[in-house]
Amino acid sequence: MHKVLIVDDELFVRKGLINLMDWASLQFEICGEAENGQQALEMIEQLEPDLVIVDIRMPVLDGLELIRQVKAEAEHQPLFVILSGYPDFSYAQQAFRYNVADYILKPVDEQELKATLKKLSGTLNQKRLLSITPEKPLVETVVESLLQTEPGEPVMEQIARTFELPRASSYAYVILEVQDQQPQGEEGYLSALRSALQQQLRQEDKPLLLHVRTYSQYGLIVPQLWLSEQGEADREDYARLRQALQRESGQPVALFVGRTVGELQQISSSGASAEESLNYRFSEQADGVFLADELLQMPLYYFDVDEELHSKLIYTIESNRQTDYTEATDAIFQAFRERHFAPGAVTNTVRRCMIAVINIIRQLEGDENDLRSLQELLNWQTKYRNLGQLREVFLQFIGEAAAYMAYKRGEKGENNIEKVKKYIDGHFRENIYLKGIAADFYMNPVYLGQLFRKQYGMYFNEYLLSLRIEEAKRLLRQTKKKMYEIAELVGFQNADYFATQFEKLENMTPTDYRNKMIGKN
C-alpha cells in the first residue's frame, strides 16, 4: 500500500476526501491528516508518505510554500497533488514549476481523483520496482504491479534478475485456494505454501512471486519451464503441484489457472482469466484444477435451479425420507456441476430452498432458530468453497429441518394424511381447495397434493369431484330438487359446470341419470 497524507485547514474537507474514495482498491492508505503546512512538514518527516494531497491556501504555511520547502530541504520526497478552489492560472503555473503530480480544482470530482490516483499508483510502483534487490524483493509490490500494468523494459530486467526468472519462458498466473472450512481470515498458509512451491518447482531458498490475495487465497506467477521441461504445463503438472500443496498445508487446495501468456510482461492477461475461472468453482472438476483455457469457453448459468427439482426437494423434506431428500439434493448439485452454475446462482438456489423450509416451519408454528444448522448454512460462503463442502452442510440442514417438521406435526411419516381425507369427506359440500386445506394442516400444498395421490391413488381434485358427483347422484335419485339447487348443495358454484363434470364422469347428463333412475325413457 502507498501512504497518503491529507493536508487541508478545513476538517470537513479532509474527512470528505477520506470518505470519497475506496483508497485500498487503488493501493493507497491514509497515514495521517494535517491542518496546515507547518504541521504537514513535520508529519512528512515522521510518516514518510508516498503521496501528499494538499490545499493551496492554508494558515501558518500554505501549500505552495510547503512543497517548495520539501523539494529544497527534505530527505524524503513524496509526490504532491494540489487541491485548489482557485482556477487562477498563475497558481497552476507556480505549482507545476515545483513538479507537482496534478492540480485538481474543488469541489473534487470523484472520477477525476480516481484517475489521478490510478496513474500515481503506477508511478509509485515503477519507482519501487526499480529499487528491488534479491535482499529486498518487495514481492507484493512486484506481483500487484505486474497484474495491473505492463512495466517498461528496465523494470522487467530488474524483476527477472531479482527473482532469477527465465525471460524466454511462457508464464501463467495461478490462484491457490486453501479450502479449510474455516471462517475468513482465521488461518494463514503463506509459509507452508511457499515451502511446498519452492520444493516442487526446484527453487529452494529463492524468492517466488507469491502473494496473499484475500482470506485463504494466494496468487502465484509461475514460469511454465519450472513446471514442465517442455515449457508448457498441462493438467497433470498442475495436479502434481496441487498434491504437494495439500500435503504441506494439510488442507484441500484448489488451483485456478489463468491462460498461458508468452512473456512475463503480459501476465496481467493471465491474471484476469484466472480471476474469471473462480466463477466456475462449482463446475465439474474432480481433480481440483480449474483451467481457464478450458472453462472460459463454456457459458455460465445465472438462474435458479428448475422448478421441478426445487419442488421435489421440498416435497421429500416434508415427507421426512432421508433417501429421497438425499437423491433430490444430489440431482440439484449435479445440475450445478453440469450446467456450470455461477456462484450467485448457487447462492440463490440455496437461499430459495432455505426460505421454503423456513416458511413451512413457521406455518407449523415452529421457530427456524431451533435448527442448529441454520446459521451454518446462512453463512456458508464464508467457510465452504467447493460443492462437496456445501453439499455436506446443506444435507445437514435439510435433514434437521425434515425431522423438526415431523416433530411439529406430531406425526411420524404420513399418518396425518388420514385426517386430511376425513376433513374432505366432511366438508366437500363447501368451497374447499387444496391450498386452503394445506394451510389448515400446516402443510405445503405441493407436498400435500403429491402425498394424497400416493396414499389414495388419485389427485385431490379427482377425489373431491367424485364425492360431489356421488352426492349429486343421491339427490337426483331421492329428491325433486332442480339442477342448480343440487349443484349448489354439493359444492359447485355454477350449474353448467356441474352438468359438464357430471357428464364427463358418468357419460350422461344429470337429467338423463335422473330419468334413468325413475324409469323414464
Least confident of 60-69, 179-188, 462-471: 179-188
Per residue in 436-462, pLDDT tens? 888 787 777 877 888 888 889 999 999
pLDDT band at 344 (very low <50, low <70, confident <90, very high): very high
Q: Are 147 and 55 in contact (CB under 8 A)?
A: no
Q: Which of these, 464, 507, 511, lies nearest to 484 by C-alpha position?
A: 511
Give yes or no for residue 46 having a pLDDT over 90.
Answer: yes
Per residue in 184-207, pLDDT tens? 655 688 889 999 999 999 888 788
Q: Which of these, 90, 33, 44, 89, lies nearest to 67 by C-alpha position?
A: 44
Give the per-residue pLDDT at 79.
Answer: 94
Least confident of 91-95, 113-117, 195-199, 504-508: 91-95
Give the per-residue pLDDT at 162.
Answer: 81
Give the per-residue pLDDT at 439.
Answer: 78
Q: Give dist(CA 57, CA 53) in Å, integer.
A: 13
Q: How far is CA 508 from the centre of its chain?
A: 61
Give yes or no for residue 502 having a pLDDT over 60.
Answer: yes
Give the per-residue pLDDT at 54.
Answer: 93
Cell of 194: 511457499
Q: Are 359 and 353 in contact (CB under 8 A)?
A: no
For the domain made up of 2-129, the CATH class stated in words is: alpha beta
User: Could you tell me the pTM of the whole model?
Assistant: 0.64
Bridging pattern class, strands 171-178 and 253-257:
antiparallel
Give the per-residue pLDDT at 255.
Answer: 96
**Comparing 253 with 84, which gets the higher pLDDT?**
253
Q: Which residues contact 426 (CB under 8 A, 6 or more apart)?
A: none
For the domain made up of 139-295, the CATH class stated in words is: alpha beta
Give yes or no for residue 129 having a pLDDT over 80.
Answer: no
What is the identity of the amino acid at 46? Q
Give yes or no for residue 506 having a pLDDT over 90.
Answer: yes
pLDDT band at 155 (very low <50, low <70, confident <90, very high): confident
Cα dihedral 73, 23, 379, 347, rounded to 10, equals -150
Q: Helix %, strand %, coil % for the chain, to 5?
A: 55, 10, 30
Bridging pattern class, strands 217-223 and 209-214:
antiparallel
Give yes or no for residue 470 having a pLDDT over 90.
Answer: yes
pLDDT band at 414 (very low <50, low <70, confident <90, very high): low
Q: Give dist(CA 482, CA 357) in Å, integer.
A: 48
DSSP 261: B
Each domain of the chain, given as residue ranges in start order, spans 2-129, 139-295, 307-408, 416-517
Least confident of 181-185, 191-195, 384-388: 181-185
Give the per-residue pLDDT at 187.
Answer: 64
Give the per-residue pLDDT at 89.
Answer: 63
Q: Which residues contact 469 (CB under 8 A, 6 or more apart)?
A: 490, 501, 502, 505, 506
Give the per-residue pLDDT at 479.
Answer: 93
Which stretches of 216-317 are assigned E, i.e. beta strand? 217-223, 253-257, 289-291
Q: Which of these, 49, 48, 39, lies nearest to 7 by C-alpha position?
A: 39
Give yes or no for residue 412 having a pLDDT over 50.
Answer: no
Superfamily of domain 416-517: Homeodomain-like (1.10.10.60)
**Comparing 448 with 128, which gets the higher pLDDT?**
448
Averaged pLDDT, 111-117: 92
Cα angle value 252/281/278 (rounded, 5°): 105
Q: Give dist(CA 152, CA 257) in Å, integer.
A: 25
Averaged pLDDT, 355-373: 90
Cα–Cα distance list, 495 to 165, 205, 472, 476, 509 (Å)? 89, 91, 12, 14, 12
Q: Which of these, 374, 364, 375, 371, lies nearest to 405 by C-alpha position?
A: 364
Q: Give dist(CA 248, CA 243) in Å, integer.
A: 9
Cα–Cα distance list, 137 to 132, 163, 191, 465 (Å)? 5, 8, 16, 82
CB atoms < 10 A from the CB of 133, how many? 10
Give yes or no for residue 490 having a pLDDT over 60.
Answer: yes
Give the per-residue pLDDT at 206.
Answer: 81
What is the identity of the amino acid at 370? D
Give yes or no for residue 105 having a pLDDT over 70.
Answer: yes
* Angle of helix 307-319 versus helix 445-456 axis, rounded to 10: 70
Which stretches of 182-271 are assigned E, i.e. beta strand? 209-214, 217-223, 253-257
**Comparing 407 with 358, which gets the higher pLDDT?**
358
Per residue in 132-150, pLDDT tens? 555 545 787 788 888 887 7
pLDDT band at 520 (very low <50, low <70, confident <90, very high): low
Cell of 411: 406425526
Give yes or no for residue 88 having a pLDDT over 70.
Answer: no
Give yes or no for residue 512 having a pLDDT over 60.
Answer: yes
Per residue in 240-294, pLDDT tens? 999 999 999 999 999 999 999 998 889 999 999 999 999 999 987 668 999 999 9
Give the per-residue pLDDT at 448.
Answer: 85
- Mean per-residue pLDDT of the chain: 88
* Angle of helix 495-506 versus helix 460-478 axis, rounded to 10: 100
222 three-state secondary structure = strand
What is the identity of the amino acid at 112? E
**Comparing 388 with 413, which gets the higher pLDDT?**
388
Cell of 517: 333412475
